[in-house]
């Protein structure tokens, strides 16, 4: 299973963090720091697979963002590259020509999309269209501000 | 400039713009301090908003807090707000609430328990999107307690719901099983029936769940072996199906699902012939038909190879798999080369020859720029070393060492040493290789390299001249690598005479004078680069040269006396002792500083080498061998030589002229003749005794008084046939390591002349491990004004009287 997924900017700023195992805040910060150092230091055209502690690290750079995840030892690294690719495509499908700013200003959407794709460190849905439909339908449940105000409170 | 004062909420503005406004403002901060200020203000406003009654902004405030949290600022005050929002009837608020829970709460927080009830309710909500929120959250962060609580609900959803919910319930079940393995039994029936679903999402979740169940429970594994044909069918369907736009990735139909099925098949086929047979054809088909020009196809092939190698596959299939790995090795893509080597590493023990065929390519990968690829290539190369390829492969490894990344150096050096140890074609090659490593990467070798190399050098007796020449040359070139300098000093100290002789068979001899050699050692002594241990080596080596050179002994004397006031305590002690050796014990100096005996490999301090049973060399008492391996000051050496046989602590005055370390076999002639020589000493019938030593008129006999399985008592009797008394008799004994020795007080130390008396000493031996008993005895005595010292070996003991 995937242990964590991090999105890091080229300057080392965290844009998204998803943890699939229970980790304390302190430990999270430590992992983020170490991942940032490791992954940002890799020269271009390096191998995308690294070893760190007892995890396999798979990372891929898309424009100004590094997608970096930690895997268990039974996981298929090449397939994980496809998983990262698929997530980027899902973001692109939702935002249209996605760029880092989209993920910064709409970070909650990035998480919602992720939650339709991965759960508990495993792949949830292998079809792009199904994820897209799910996101659309969930959006229709979102109501506008005025509707909120007119709803009775409990 | 901060736009939109946080405390004044303007109803006309759309809430999500507020969030984005805040983000924009934070990003606009020019310094860290400014950012902190903005965030503090925003957090204060958010806190205030949380305390207010519901005004429709709660979800957005929480979202703002989550953004702030991602920047690294504390957000714990939002935890209760998450709990509240999750309980809200509004989907928007639930959504952000659950997101917040997953980000701010984990099972270690107490607050996480508070959402259990909400999750339970939401699992039966009428809207599948609300259900989905609950399932996702439970599947990501559910604690063991929550899992136990909600497992039956999940099982219900696994059976009766639409595919959107089923797939989420499946992964939720996976999480539950990981947290509370006993609950696996609950999900087993439902998971079986899920395999007949057509929906890929559900199918994928089912395969993951079944994998998890089988990994944890051998009975479940047995049960699911029956599902192998079904899985094979599903897989066939994926591989043979035409283009499906929904699931196609670079020409492969749903590679994610294919890989998971292959992984499950691996677990089911492991150690089981029937299951392995049932999947053989399928694996062959996938291996041959999958297009690996893109990553997706390679991922499937990779998983296929792993499965083939792990189950009981036909040999043809195995060959096919290894060939795929070989092809991967030649791929341009670094990632593919990397995983190829990872897989080859897994099978290098079992399919050694198959992997050997690819040695050339693997060795080429040592030269790759990428650190990950290099590391894999190194591991694999070390695993491929054999007696046949040791020379060529070592060349490559040494080349690699000279340019390898620093984090791999220590591993490389120890790998090279191990390989050299096992497969060295000759001692000279072995020594050369170690020296090469020390010159290239001497700072990254393990501590035991120095004693190991010294031991190796002593055993290569014909190469002493060659070795000392090589090391001398290395020393005068560079004294910065401590390990190399230490070995070089030791060698020069030990074999300096060979260096000065000016002739050498194996290599070009150097023409050095004694002063040159002493200069080199003094340079090491005085250099700032030398560690204290290294300086110790150099000082001892200098001292040892005093018996190997002829002209410059005075220079050595002065060096030694200077260091008598060195600040370093260890050096000072040594110098003082050497000084004493020059002044008071000059007659012992040659003996003390003579050539070391060949050091035995099985002594402590060596991690490898098994002790050959019963060899003579094995009998060194423990504390002696330690000191022999790591040279220390001669004062210690003097004591050690004196203590060679342990046992009696009486001081001895060994005479260099007569001392020997002869380990010759015992001359145990029949007792008859000698009894006659000794005259009528033995009047009473005695148990049979053997003569173990006879020289200079002194005879030593041994008799066994008592013998049990685990020990014996013996008596040593010394008699004197000369015309003058033998005085200062001392006997010392040494036995194999596991045997305990106790020498009782001798009856005296004077053996009367003409056989008129004797000295006896009783020795108790305790042999709990019942090893073969041997003993070495050292006799020391003064006869006819000469001090004599001899050692005898006793390999067998006479039987006792009863």
Subunit contact A124:B171, Cβ cutoff 8 A: yes
Contact A108 B99 (CB under 8 A): yes
Domains and CATH numbers, chain B: 447-593 (no CATH), 689-794 (2.60.40.1230)
Strand partners, B741: B765
Q: What is the ipTM, given to two decimal places?
A: 0.94
Please report residues of B whose CB lies closer than 8 A to that of A141: 91-92, 127, 129
pLDDT above 50: residue B37: yes
Nearest CA to B87 out of B43, B130, B129 is that of B130
The tens digit of pLDDT for each residue in B586-620 reads 888 888 888 888 877 665 544 443 333 333 333 33
Residues 67-126 of A with CB under 8 A from B: 74, 76-79, 81-83, 85-86, 104-105, 107-108, 111-112, 115, 119-120, 122-126
B373 vs A47, A85, A138: nearest CB: A47
Min Cα–Cα distance to chain A from B396, Å: 22
Task: Determine, for residues B92 and A46 on separate chains, whether the beta-carbon distance falls below 8 Å.
Answer: no
Would you say residue B20 has pLDDT above 60? yes
Contact A41/B at CB under 8 A: no
Q: Does A133 contact B at CB distance below 8 Å?
A: no
Render each residue's pLDDT in chain A as its tens digit; 154 residues: 999 999 999 999 999 999 999 998 899 999 999 999 999 999 988 999 999 999 999 999 999 999 999 999 999 999 999 999 999 999 999 999 999 999 999 999 999 999 999 999 999 999 999 999 999 999 888 755 445 555 565 5
pLDDT band at B654 (very low <50, low <70, confident <90, very high): very low
Closest CA–CA distance from residue B319 to any residue of chain A (Å):
22
- Subunit contact A111:B127, Cβ cutoff 8 A: no
Tokens of residue B574, six digits = 């040594």
pLDDT of residue B15: 54
Measured between alpha carbons, how far is residue A116 from residues A3, A90, A123, B171 in Å?
Answer: 17, 10, 9, 12
pLDDT higher at B787 or B213: B213
The answer to whether A127 contacts chain B (CB < 8 Å) is: yes
For the CA atoms of chain B, what is the radius of gyration?
41
Chain length of chain B: 802
CA B123/CA B644 separation, integer angstroms? 82
Mutation target vs B (from A82, A135, A143; most B CBs, 10 A cutoff): A82
Q: In the predicted model, is pLDDT for residue B753 greater than 50?
A: yes
Of these ranges, A27-41, B68-82, B696-710, the one predicted with the greatest mean pLDDT is: A27-41
pLDDT band for position B194 (cuts 50, 70, 90) = very high
Quick check: B201 and A151 CB within 8 A?
no
B136 neighbourhood in chain A, CB within 8 Å: 115, 119
The DSSP-derived string for B74-85 is --GGGHHHHHHH
Is residue A123 within 8 A of residue A38, CB to CB? The reply is no
- Residue contacts between A and B (CB atoms, under 8 Å): 165
Q: Is B127 left (phi over 0), alpha (psi -120 to 50) or beta?
A: beta
Domain that holds residue A85: 2-150
Looking at residue B112, what is its pLDDT? 77
HEC assignment per residue over B686-704: CCCEEEEEEECCEEEEEEE
C-alpha distances (whole Å) from B743 to each of A41, B211, B246, B641, B797 are 69, 69, 90, 19, 17
Give the distance from residue A46's alpha carbon to the nearest chain B alpha carbon, in angstroms. 6
How many angstroms separate the CA atoms of B357 and B681, rounded? Answer: 78
Share of chain B above pLDDT 70, in %: 87
Q: How many domains does chain A have?
A: 1
Q: With CA atoms as reference, report the closest residue to B471 among B510, B441, B527.
A: B510
What CATH number has the domain bearing residue A73?
Answer: 3.30.450.60
What SS3 state is found at A5?
Answer: strand
CA distance B619 to B603: 10
């Amino acid at each position: 299973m995937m242990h964590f997924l991090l999105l890091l900017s080229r300057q080392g700023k965290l844009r998204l963090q998803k943890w699939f195992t229970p980790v304390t805040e302190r430990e999270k910060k430590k992992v983020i720091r170490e991942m940032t150092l490791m992954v940002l230091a890799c020269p271009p055209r390096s191998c995308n697979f690294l070893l760190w502690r007892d995890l396999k690290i798979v990372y891929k750079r898309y424009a100004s963002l590094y997608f970096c995840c930690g895997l268990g030892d039974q996981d298929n690294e090449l397939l994980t590259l496809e998983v990262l690719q698929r997530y980027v495509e899902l973001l692109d499908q939702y935002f249209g020509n996605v760029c880092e700013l989209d993920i910064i200003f709409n970070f909650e959407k990035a998480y919602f999309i992720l939650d339709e794709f991965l759960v508990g460190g495993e792949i949830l849905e292998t079809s792009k269209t199904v994820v897209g439909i799910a996101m659309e339908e969930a959006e229709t449940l979102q109501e506008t501000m005025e509707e909120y105000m007119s709803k009775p409170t409990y | 400039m901060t736009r939109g004062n946080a405390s004044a909420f303007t109803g006309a503005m759309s809430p999500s713009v507020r969030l984005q406004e805040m983000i924009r403002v934070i990003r606009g901060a020019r310094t860290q301090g400014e950012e902190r200020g903005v965030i503090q203000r925003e957090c204060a406003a958010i806190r205030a908003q949380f305390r207010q009654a519901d005004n429709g902004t709660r979800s957005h405030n929480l979202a703002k807090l989550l953004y702030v949290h991602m920047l690294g600022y504390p957000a714990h005050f939002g935890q209760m707000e998450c709990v509240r929002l999750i309980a809200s009837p509004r989907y928007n608020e639930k959504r952000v609430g659950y997101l917040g829970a997953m980000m701010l709460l984990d099972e270690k927080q107490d607050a996480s328990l508070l959402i259990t009830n909400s999750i339970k309710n939401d699992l039966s909500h009428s809207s599948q999107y609300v259900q989905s929120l609950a399932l996702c959250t439970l599947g990501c962060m559910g604690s063991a307690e929550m899992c136990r609580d909600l497992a039956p609900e999940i099982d219900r959803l696994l059976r009766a719901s639409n595919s959107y919910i089923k797939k989420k319930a499946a992964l939720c079940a996976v999480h539950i099983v990981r947290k509370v393995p006993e609950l696996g039994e609950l999900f087993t029936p439902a998971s079986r029936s899920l395999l007949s679903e057509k929906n890929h999402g559900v199918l994928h979740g089912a395969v993951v769940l079944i994998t998890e169940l089988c990994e944890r429970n051998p009975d479940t594994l047995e049960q699911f072996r029956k599902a192998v044909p079904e899985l094979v069918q599903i897989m066939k369907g994926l591989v043979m199906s035409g283009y499906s736009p929904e699931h196609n990735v670079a020409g492969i139909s749903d590679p994610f699902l294919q890989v998971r099925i292959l992984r499950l098949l691996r677990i089911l086929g492991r150690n089981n012939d029937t299951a392995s047979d049932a999947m053989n054809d399928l694996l062959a088909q996938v291996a041959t038909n999958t297009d690996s020009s893109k990553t997706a196809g390679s991922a499937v092939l990779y998983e296929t190879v792993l499965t083939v190698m792990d189950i009981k596959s036909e040999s043809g299939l195995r060959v096919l798999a290894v060939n795929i790995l070989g092809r991967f090795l030649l791929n341009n893509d670094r990632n593919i080369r990397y995983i190829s080597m990872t897989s080859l590493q897994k099978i290098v023990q079992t399919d050694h020859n198959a992997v050997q065929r690819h040695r050339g390519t693997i060795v080429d990968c040592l030269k790759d720029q990428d650190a990950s690829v290099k590391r894999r290539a190194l591991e694999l190369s070390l695993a491929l070393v054999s007696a046949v390829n040791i020379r060529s492969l070592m060349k490559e490894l040494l080349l690699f060492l000279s340019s390898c990344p620093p984090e791999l150096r220590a591993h490389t050096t120890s790998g090279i040493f191990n390989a050299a140890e096992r497969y060295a074609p000759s001692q000279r090659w072995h020594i050369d290789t170690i020296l090469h490593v020390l010159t290239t990467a001497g700072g990254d070798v393990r501590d035991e390299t120095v004693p190991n190399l010294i031991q190796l050098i002593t055993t290569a007796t014909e190469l002493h001249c060659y070795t000392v020449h090589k090391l001398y040359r290395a020393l005068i070139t560079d004294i910065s690598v401590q390990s190399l300098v230490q070995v070089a000093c030791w060698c020069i100290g030990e074999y300096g005479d060979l260096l000065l002789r000016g002739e050498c068979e194996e290599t070009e001899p150097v023409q050095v004078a004694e002063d040159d050699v002493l200069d080199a050692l003094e340079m090491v002594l005085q250099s700032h680069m030398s560690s204290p241990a290294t300086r110790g080596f150099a000082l001892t080596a200098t001292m040892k040269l005093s018996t190997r050179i002829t002209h410059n002994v005075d220079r050595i004397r002065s060096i030694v006396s200077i260091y008598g006031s060195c600040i370093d305590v260890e050096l000072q002690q040594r110098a003082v002792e050497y000084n004493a050796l020059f002044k008071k014990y000059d007659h012992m100096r040659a003996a003390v500083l003579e050539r070391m005996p060949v050091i035995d490999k099985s002594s402590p301090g060596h991690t490898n080498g098994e002790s050959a049973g019963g060899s003579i060399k094995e009998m060194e008492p423990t504390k002696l061998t330690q000191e022999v391996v790591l040279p220390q000051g001669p004062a210690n050496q003097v004591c050690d030589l004196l203590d060679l046989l342990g046992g009696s602590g009486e001081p001895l005055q060994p005479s260099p002229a007569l001392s020997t370390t002869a380990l010759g076999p015992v001359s145990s002639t029949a007792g008859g003749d000698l009894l006659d020589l000794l005259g009528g000493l033995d009047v009473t019938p005695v148990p049979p005794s053997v003569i173990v030593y006879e020289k200079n008129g002194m005879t030593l006999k041994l008799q066994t008084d008592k013998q049990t399985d685990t020990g014996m008592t013996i008596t040593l009797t010394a008699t004197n046939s000369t015309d003058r008394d033998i005085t200062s008799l001392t006997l010392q004994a040494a036995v194999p390591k596991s045997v305990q020795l106790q020498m009782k007080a001798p009856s005296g130390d004077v053996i009367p002349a003409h056989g008129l008396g004797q000295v006896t000493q009783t020795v108790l031996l305790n042999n709990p491990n019942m090893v073969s008993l041997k003993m070495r005895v050292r006799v020391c005595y003064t006869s006819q004004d000469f001090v004599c010292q001899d050692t005898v070996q006793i390999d067998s003991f006479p039987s006792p009287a009863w």
